[in-house]
């Protein structure tokens, strides 16, 4: 008599166990992921891991095989992948149980390579084919092109792939297209070539702004000092269109679309003409250091257009005036931790310090200031560590101080939502460039409960689709030692808090945030869901 029963195992798997009732012998086990086992962008997971056990020498129940069978789908908006099917089987046989072993065996090295180990004996395997190929496997070996590696056979398709370097329109990766209230439409080309000769790399870019009627270019190269590419020297000459430094939460394409469609240009701009040299070092896997010398003439950029597709009657906000002159500065950047991930898809445990110094006496600069920024991120798992992606508290701290006379092009500004889009770390209730200063601090805390609330409430549609619940809050403040050229200080502590729903359609996030600072209000924003 054989009994079969099922149970949930370690929150993530369900297991079927088959035993012989009268002797309680285990003859079969089968593992499969349950509803709590979720992986971002992966759906339809139906994978079974199983083992069968046989009786040997009349008393020992030993594994006879190990099988993995099933499939899953990968769903990324803009991409489509073939369904992944997994079939794997291993056979265990020819047991020799409780053999007498010579004492000399235990005195040998842990790993010993036999002289015949690298010799392939086709006759031996033909005579010991304990698991013959199936008809489908035999057909696959005869028909599949051996030059078709996995990345070719499973290459994604879809609209996003078409526009990338991997698609038929991959040449778009060389284009530099943008739109803003100073240049108007800008069209340019980018090109870089790695290992031109040995360790030398070259890069270049050129383009033209059709409203400000100014050509721009960048040309440079870098040389790796060691074979491991941990140390690099580089130099660039340029006549470029720069922006007052920000945390780069929004890529240029998003800013261009905002300016073109909603007449909202996130950045403030100026012109820079000169050269820079840098040295980069990565002495440890998670430690990177960069020293940059910049020598450039900075000049004012003015708003040149009010064109947008919609809301044509409302003008763009003006572009702040900078202090013109020769900027000669040294910037040291040191970061410990993994490099930032675009769009904030993951929270990296990291700490980064950036110091910029400009001095007329030493560097013959027109400016005299020191500017320091600290950036830190941390993720702390809070409970249910047995889950594949446990609930976590994510923290992000950014702070900056300055000394000397900080020019307008180096003023700090708190990052804010942009056209209803708000990644973690920005003020979801703040306006673009609303708060500025010579010093600032901003702390954001988010607790991602994952799908556990919906599991507790037994709402299958939400937890099966990996919908996540997030509570978040931000506090920030700016200070100024002199009148500000644009924006204003927070005049005390700014605070906001809200709730978010993440993984809508697998990658979107919806947040409802209340701003406690005047003018108080409720804000709705969208973002990109974090992967982990």
Per-residue DSSP letters for 391-454? -EEEEEEEEEEEEE---GGG-EE--B-BTTB--TTSBTTPPTT-BEESEEEEEEEEEE-TTHHH
pTM for the full predicted model:
0.78
Mean pLDDT, rounded, of the chain: 88
Pick the range with the lowest mean pLDDT from 139-143, 169-173, 323-327. 169-173
Question: What pLDDT band is residue 500 in, cutting at 50, 70 and 90?
Answer: very high
Q: What pLDDT is stored for residue 271 in this prediction? A: 98
What's the whole-number mean pLDDT along residues 477-505? 95
Collect all residues with Cβ–Cβ distance below 8 Å to 117 and sequence separation of at least 6.
none
Picking from 260, 268, 264, the residue whose alpha carbon sits closest to that of residue 242 is 268
Per-residue pLDDT tens digits for 76-126: 665 667 778 888 888 888 888 888 888 888 888 888 888 877 787 778 777
CA distance 376 to 99: 59
Task: Give 33-51 pLDDT, tens digit per residue.
Answer: 877 677 767 777 888 999 9
Of the candidates 382, 391, 380, 378, the one whose C-alpha atom is nearest the C-alpha of residue 349 is: 378
Two tokens at 68?
Answer: 């993995």
Name the phi and psi angles at 466, rounded to 5.
60, 30
481/464 Cα distance (integer angstroms): 53
pLDDT recorded at residue 419? 93
Cis peptide before 216 (omega within 30 of 0): no
- Report pLDDT for 153: 54
For the segment 233-254, the average pLDDT, to the nearest whole number, is: 95
- Measured distance CA(419)–CA(47) in Å, rounded: 42
Q: Pick the residue with more confidence: 501 or 198?
A: 501
Strand, coil or helix: 258: helix
| Tokens, residue 110 | 């842990």
Quickly state the pLDDT bin for 461 (edges 50, 70, 90): confident
| Six-digit token string for 437 | 């200063």
Tokens of 499: 């709730």
Which CA distances in Å does 529 have to 161, 337, 342?
A: 20, 21, 12
Answer yes or no: is pLDDT of 20 > 80.
yes
Is the pLDDT confidence value at 278 over 90?
yes
Q: Tell me the three state secondary structure of residue 253.
A: helix
- d(C-alpha 410, C-alpha 407), whole Å: 6
Confidence of residue 146 (pLDDT cuts 50, 70, 90): low
Confidence (pLDDT) at 160: 52
| Whether the predicted pLDDT of 276 surpasses 90 | yes
- 383-417: string of b/e by CB count within 10 Å (b at 16+)? eeeebebebbebbbbbbbebeeebbbbbbbbbbbb
pLDDT at residue 156 is higher than 90: no
**Residues 186-234: tens digit of each pLDDT:** 999 999 998 878 889 999 999 999 999 999 999 999 999 998 899 999 9
- Give how far Cα 248 sits from Cα of 231, 377, 414, 416, 475, Å: 25, 16, 12, 11, 20
Q: What is the pLDDT of residue 38?
A: 72
Cβ-contact 506, 468 below 8 angstroms = no
Residues 360-402 pLDDT 10s: 999 999 999 999 999 999 999 999 887 778 999 999 999 999 9
Q: What angle do CA 371, 376, 381 make, to 5 degrees?
A: 170
148, pLDDT greater than 70: no
């Amino acid at each position: 008599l054989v009994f079969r029963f099922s149970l949930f195992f370690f929150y993530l798997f369900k297991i079927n166990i088959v035993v012989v009732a009268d002797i309680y012998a285990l003859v079969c086990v089968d593992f499969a992921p349950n509803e709590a086992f979720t992986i971002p962008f992966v759906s339809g997971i139906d994978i079974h891991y199983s083992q069968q056990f046989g009786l040997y020498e009349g008393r020992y129940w030993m594994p006879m095989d190990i099988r993995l069978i099933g499939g899953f789908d990968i769903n990324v908006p803009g991409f489509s992948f073939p369904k992944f099917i997994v079939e794997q089987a291993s056979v265990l046989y020819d047991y020799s149980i409780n053999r007498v072993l010579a004492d000399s065996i235990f005195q040998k090295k842990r790993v010993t390579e036999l002289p015949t180990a690298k010799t392939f004996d086709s006759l031996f395997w033909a005579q010991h084919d304990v698991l013959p190929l199936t008809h489908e496997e035999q057909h696959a070996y005869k028909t599949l092109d051996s030059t078709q590696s996995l990345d070719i056979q499973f290459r994604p398709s879809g609209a996003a792939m078409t526009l990338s370097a991997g698609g038929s329109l991959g040449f778009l990766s060389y284009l530099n297209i943008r739109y803003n209230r100073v240049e108007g439409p800008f069209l340019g080309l980018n090109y870089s070539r790695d290992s031109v000769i040995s360790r030398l790399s070259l890069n270049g870019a050129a383009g033209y702004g059709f409203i400000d009627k100014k050509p721009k270019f960048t040309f440079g190269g870098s040389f790796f000092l060691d074979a491991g590419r941990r140390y690099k020297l580089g130099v660039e000459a340029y006549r470029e269109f720069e922006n007052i430094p920000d945390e780069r939460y929004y890529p240029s394409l998003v800013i261009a679309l905002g300016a073109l469609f909603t007449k909202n240009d996130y950045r403030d701009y100026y012109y820079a003409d000169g050269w820079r040299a840098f040295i980069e070092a990565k002495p440890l896997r998670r430690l990177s250091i960069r020293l940059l010398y910049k020598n450039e003439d900075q000049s004012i950029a003015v708003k040149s257009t009010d064109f947008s597709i919609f809301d044509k009657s409302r003008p763009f906000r003006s572009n702040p005036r900078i202090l013109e002159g020769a900027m000669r500065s040294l910037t040291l950047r040191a970061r410990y931790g993994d490099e930032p991930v675009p769009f904030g898809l993951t929270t990296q445990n990291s700490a980064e310090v950036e110091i910029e110094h400009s001095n007329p006496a030493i560097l013959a600069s027109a400016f005299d200031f020191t500017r320091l920024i600290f950036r830190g991120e941390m993720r702390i798992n809070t409970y249910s560590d047995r889950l594949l992606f446990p609930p976590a508290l994510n923290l992000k701290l950014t702070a900056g101080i300055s000394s000397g006379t900080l020019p307008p092009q180096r003023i700090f500004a708190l990052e804010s939502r942009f056209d209803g889009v708000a990644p973690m770390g920005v003020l979801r209730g703040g306006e673009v460039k609303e708060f500025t200063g010579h010093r600032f601090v901003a702390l954001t805390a988010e607790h991602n409960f994952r799908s556990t609330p919906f599991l507790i409430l037994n709402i299958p549609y939400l937890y099966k689709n990996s919908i996540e619940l997030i509570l978040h809050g931000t506090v920030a403040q700016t200070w100024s030692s002199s009148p500000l050229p644009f924006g204003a200080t927070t005049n005390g502590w700014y605070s906001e808090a809200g709730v978010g729903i993440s993984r809508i359609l697998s990658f979107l996030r919806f947040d409802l945030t209340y701003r406690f600072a005047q003018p108080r209000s409720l804000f709705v924003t969208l973002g990109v869901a974090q992967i982990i």
